[in-house]
Amino acid sequence: MKEGRLIIVRVPLEGGGRLVVSVNDAEAKELYDVLGGVVNPA
């Protein structure tokens, strides 16, 4: 059984806060595909 992996990004914010984003492999792939169309339009 393959254990799921999470990608966690922590972004410091002004005022001492932090934005934390956590995505699994499937969500990361979907985000990559969507952003690829915006960053590298055909």
28 inside domain: yes
Report the domain count for the chain.
1
Q: Is residue 1 part of a domain?
A: no
CA-CA distance, 2 to 24, in Å (whole number)?
A: 13
**Per-residue confidence (pLDDT) for residue 14, from 0 to 100:** 95
DSSP-assigned letter for residue 16: G
Q: What is the DSSP string of 1-42?
A: -PPP-EEEEEEE-GGG-EEEEEEEHHHHHHHHHHHHHHHS--
Residue 13 to residue 16: CA distance in whole angstroms: 6
Q: Kindly report, residue by residue over 3-39, the tens digit of the pLDDT.
A: 678 999 999 999 999 999 999 999 999 999 999 988 8
pLDDT at 41 over 80: no
Output the pTM of the full model: 0.59
- 12 located within any domain: yes
Domain that holds residue 10: 6-39
pLDDT recorded at residue 4: 73
